[in-house]
């Protein structure tokens, strides 16, 4: 009744923002991401027959807010297996939690992957992606490696809102530098940010109406390994998502000064011919995606920005996998 899994965060190049069903956590738009390699969550899950309570530790500590979401995710797994045992969950990240680095994506992908095996459920990765999506949308994508698309789906029960791999990491091995500009937990989480945006931003319908085109452009760029086309569409989707959220009331401003300066540096490098582009999620960190040959230059340029605390560096990686507990 015990299993452990590792999953890595993913970074959306065409962003998910907005829900068509909050209870089932169904997205209003599809999205495309890349799964990272050297940042990870490792989660050990043990179900104990006879136990009624769940015990959850995150990086060695209990965390009430995350604990609630983890219990909700364990309930989905228990429902699926038809059991009511309590669980012991120990999860560790090797990167800052809740700072816009998609810890919920790797966290829930690892939890579903380990929890399903611990309960003896024989689920395909697509079925695990559906379960992970209900816990945190972006987690649907972290079951898979490389380049991944998550469909918004049209069915009311959400069974067609599932992620699928588009291209393996080795087929187009880009690198990612992550500029950490703050380690504080973000003030407005994605779930609340999306709700506020849908209720108050005047750009919500334009966002939804233009997403299919963006997904098509990104899919083509990935299939053809066209870096310039991917750079243009990814920066466009990122800035469009932030414009949408900035126009909510009150406006969602996830950036700090260093975030903006990093975006300028990345654009300046690209103008000099360096193959690099940026993307930013619901937090102040900047992810710079580049060709492997450019990684040292990109890291040096980001390190040079005032307010950048650290620059992490990762390749693209595989999806969720079993590890030894």
| Residue ranges that bind ligand DP6, judged by CB under 6 A | 12, 15-17, 25, 31, 104, 136-138, 190-191, 281-282
Q: 162 vs 294, which CB is nearer to ligand DP6?
A: 162
* Cβ 94 to ligand DP6 shortest distance, Å: 19
For the record, the structure tokens of 106 come out as 């790797």
Going by C-alpha positions, the residue among 152, 142, 68, 72 that lies closest to residue 102 is 142
* Cβ 4 to ligand DP6 shortest distance, Å: 23
* Cβ 121 to ligand DP6 shortest distance, Å: 22
* Cβ 13 to ligand DP6 shortest distance, Å: 9
Q: Calculate helix-pair angle for 227-246, 204-223, nearest 10 degrees.
A: 160
Q: Which residue has the tokens 């999306």?
A: 194
Show the 3-state SS of 67-131: HHHHHHHHHHHHHHHCCCCEEEEEEEECCCCCCCCCHHHHHHHHHHHHHHHHCCCCCCHHHHHHH
C-beta of residue 32 within 8 angstroms of C-beta of residue 166: yes
Going by C-alpha positions, the residue among 10, 3, 185 that lies closest to residue 89 is 3
* Cβ 139 to ligand DP6 shortest distance, Å: 7
C-beta of residue 9 within 8 angstroms of C-beta of residue 105: yes
Q: 112 vs 269, which CB is nearer to ligand DP6?
A: 112
Q: 128 vs 294, which CB is nearer to ligand DP6?
A: 128
Q: 269 vs 285, which CB is nearer to ligand DP6?
A: 285
Q: Which residue has the tokens 């890595």?
A: 8
CA distance 60 to 17: 31
* Pure H helices in 224-294: 227-246, 257-271
Q: 241 vs 305, which CB is nearer to ligand DP6?
A: 241
What string of DSSP letters covers 4-60?
EEEE--EEEEE----EEETTTTEESS-EEEEEBSS--EEEEEEEETT--S-EEEETT
For the record, the structure tokens of 237 come out as 């989707």
Q: Which residue has the tokens 């490098």?
A: 269
Q: 54 vs 281, which CB is nearer to ligand DP6?
A: 281
Q: 83 vs 156, which CB is nearer to ligand DP6?
A: 156
What string of DSSP letters covers 201-240?
-TTHHHHHHHHHHHHHHHHHHHHTT-HHHHHHHHHHHHHH
* Cβ 22 to ligand DP6 shortest distance, Å: 9
* Cβ 15 to ligand DP6 shortest distance, Å: 4
* Cβ 156 to ligand DP6 shortest distance, Å: 18
* Cβ 283 to ligand DP6 shortest distance, Å: 8
Q: 157 vs 296, which CB is nearer to ligand DP6?
A: 157
């Amino acid at each position: 009744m015990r299993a452990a899994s590792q999953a890595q965060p993913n970074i959306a190049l065409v962003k998910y923002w907005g829900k068509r069903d909050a209870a089932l956590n169904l997205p209003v738009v599809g999205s495309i991401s890349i799964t990272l390699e050297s940042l990870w969550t490792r989660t050990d899950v043990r179900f104990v027959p006879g136990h009624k309570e769940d015990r959850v530790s995150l990086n060695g500590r209990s965390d009430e807010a995350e604990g609630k979401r983890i219990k909700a995710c364990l309930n989905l797994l228990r429902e699926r297996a038809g059991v009511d045992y309590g669980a012991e969950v120990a999860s560790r990240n090797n990167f800052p939690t809740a700072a816009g680095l998609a810890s919920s994506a790797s966290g829930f992908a690892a939890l579903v992957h380990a929890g399903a095996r611990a309960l003896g459920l024989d689920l395909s990765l697509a079925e695990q992606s559906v379960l992970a999506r209900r816990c945190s949308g972006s987690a649907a994508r972290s079951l898979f490696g490389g380049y991944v698309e998550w469909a918004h789906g049209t069915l009311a029960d959400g069974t067609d809102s599932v992620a699928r791999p588009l291209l393996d990491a080795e087929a187009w091995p880009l690198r990612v530098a992550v500029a950490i500009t703050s380690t504080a937990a973000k003030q407005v989480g994605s779930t609340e940010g999306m709700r506020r945006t849908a209720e108050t931003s005047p750009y919500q319908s334009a966002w939804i109406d233009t997403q299919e085109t963006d997904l098509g452009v990104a899919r083509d760029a990935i299939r053809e390994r066209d870096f310039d086309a991917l750079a243009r569409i990814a920066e466009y989707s990122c800035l469009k998502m932030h414009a949408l959220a900035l126009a909510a009331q009150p406006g969602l401003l996830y950036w700090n000064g260093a975030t903006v300066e990093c975006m300028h540096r990345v654009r300046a490098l690209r103008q000099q011919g360096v193959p690099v582009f940026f993307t930013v999620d619901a937090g102040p960190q900047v992810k710079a995606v580049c060709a492997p040959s450019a990684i040292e230059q990109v890291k040096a340029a980001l390190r040079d920005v005032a307010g950048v605390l650290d620059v992490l560096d990762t390749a693209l990686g595989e999806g969720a996998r079993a590890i030894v507990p």
